Amino acid sequence: MATINTSELARTFNEGEPLSFSFYYPSENTIKTLNAILAKILATTDRIFLLDMMVTILREIIINATKANAKRVYFHKMNLDIANHESYMKGIEKFKEDIVGQLDRLEGELKKSKLKVTFYTRKEEDGIKFIITNNSPILPEELERINLRLDNARRYKDFTEAYEEIYDETEGAGLGIVLVVLLLKSSGIDPVHYKIKTDGKVTQASLFIPYQMRPEKLTTSIKQQILDDIEGIPTFPKQVLELIQMCKRRDVEIREISEKIIQDPALSTDVLKLANSAGFITGKRVESLNEAVMNIGLKNLEALLIATSARKILDKRYTKFEQIWEHCNRTSFYARTIAAKYKLGNIIEHVSLAGLLHDLGKIILLSTDLEVTNWIADLVSDRKMRTSTVMEEVSIGISHSTIGELIAEKWQLPDYLVTSIRYHHTPLEANAEYADHVGITYLANMLCGVENRKYQYYYIEESILQRFKLSDEKDLNAFHQKLKDLYSEQS
């Protein structure tokens, strides 16, 4: 786990305070801390879909900066004048052979040399600024090579083309620079936002991530299309809405509810099926609706009504996305189990339902006009795959969390559910009333993401881990394994 409170750093960043730290060598803990900070500041700015790309890009820039410092240390150690062309050509071959790919061999000497790398970021009105500096200057020959690679990278279509053209037997061959540019291009960010310069003493690589990453005309059109699509989504059937309201009444009689349910054969089947499931079975098969409603309880019945109605509407209107529903089922199970473990029995049904519906906005994202979706998918690096966040990756200006919130409000879902859906990536922004609802939904979703290698444990907000007494990674790992085992058993 990170050794500093990255959640607190992200909070101050979001309030406008710049964030920076320095190091001599990017140790595993340094990289973990950096990645955790990235995960949290991208989440607070509703750009979590950029996480994988930004982790890769910043790691490349940091390694390049460390390598530049290490080169100076190595030349000094070998008594070679780095500014002399003949000495440079002689030393660079040895540097490639001895050090490139093994920078840790010079970790101790980097600390003694006082050559360090500084990471700096700040939130601006129209985007996020990143600056990585190292206190060793670029030689004119090196700067010329870097600028040439930057210019070339802006016209490359893919990494293979870049590798074949620029491989020149120098250290790293500058492919890290090209990788950064290609990743930026594939995500809709103009590579001009990535710059490298020196003042003769310090070398600086700067990167700006704008909030608006595609032409406004395109994003506005797609965003409006999605909003229109949401407007056209049917509301819950009148009978279901009436039943949901009946479940909330303290004076309601089981007979009244059963008589209402029996008017809908499909719903009657769902209720009987739930009452006879492993979670509620009492030893004998339940045959009557009265008994079924009594067994499962009004809170569970309300959750069933919301879940089945939402699924029917979305499956009827859109292509079925079983992978999303499978993820939601697992998240729901984890959320229910977490609530039970921490004796939050009063919200077990709530968080179970929140887990089930937290990603419903993704279905809308992937169901936008296929012609537009395919065109956008063609802009991302892997053109044969449409991931569940491909629309977000080109930043249409509306996230799946916000889309889910809009749908939940349209369906007049309970406030706890609207809030859980909206903040399942940013739990610290939720109001205190539903902090546990959102925190559990967030934690369950993050653990599922860890299983899919989408996230790492140290991306999780520290305050959420503290709330559930899981700050120690061994405890978190053990608890996660227990959740996986329980899910396998119930499946």
The residues spanned by each domain of the chain are: 6-210, 216-490
Give the per-residue pLDDT at 350: 93
Give me the residue label for tokens 């490639």. Answer: 96
Give pLDDT tens digits along the chain (491 positions). Answer: 345 788 888 889 989 999 999 999 998 889 989 999 999 998 888 888 788 888 888 998 998 899 889 888 888 888 998 888 888 888 888 888 787 777 788 888 888 888 999 999 999 999 999 999 999 888 887 888 888 888 888 887 665 666 566 555 444 446 678 888 888 887 778 889 999 988 888 999 999 998 877 655 555 566 677 777 778 888 888 888 889 889 888 888 999 999 888 888 888 888 888 888 766 766 678 888 998 889 888 888 888 889 888 888 888 877 667 788 889 999 999 999 999 999 998 899 899 999 999 998 888 776 665 554 554 445 444 433 334 444 444 445 567 888 899 899 989 899 999 999 999 999 988 999 999 999 999 999 999 999 988 888 889 999 999 999 998 889 999 999 999 999 998 86
Q: Which among 432, 429, 248, 435 is positioned nearest to 342, based on CA atoms?
A: 435
Tell me which architecture the domain covering 216-490 has in CATH: Orthogonal Bundle (1.10)
CATH T-level topology, domain 6-210: Heat Shock Protein 90 (3.30.565)
Whether 182 and 381 have beta carbons less than 8 Å apart is answered as yes
Whether 274 and 292 have beta carbons less than 8 Å apart is answered as yes
Q: Which among 64, 78, 69 is positioned nearest to 115, based on CA atoms?
A: 69
Give the per-residue pLDDT at 216: 56
Whether 73 and 110 have beta carbons less than 8 Å apart is answered as yes
Give the per-residue pLDDT at 217: 53
Q: How far is CA 41 from the centre of its chain?
A: 11
Whether 438 and 335 have beta carbons less than 8 Å apart is answered as no
Q: State the helix-helix crossing angle for 265-275 and 289-317, rounded to 10 degrees.
A: 120
Give the per-residue pLDDT at 164: 62
**In one letter, which amino acid is 412?**
Q
Tokens of 359: 């990603």
Strand partners, 117: 23, 134
Alpha-carbon gap, residue 103 to 473, rounded angstroms: 28
Give me the residue label for tokens 């990170």. Answer: 2
Q: Which among 129, 133, 132, 166 is positioned nearest to 147, based on CA atoms?
A: 166
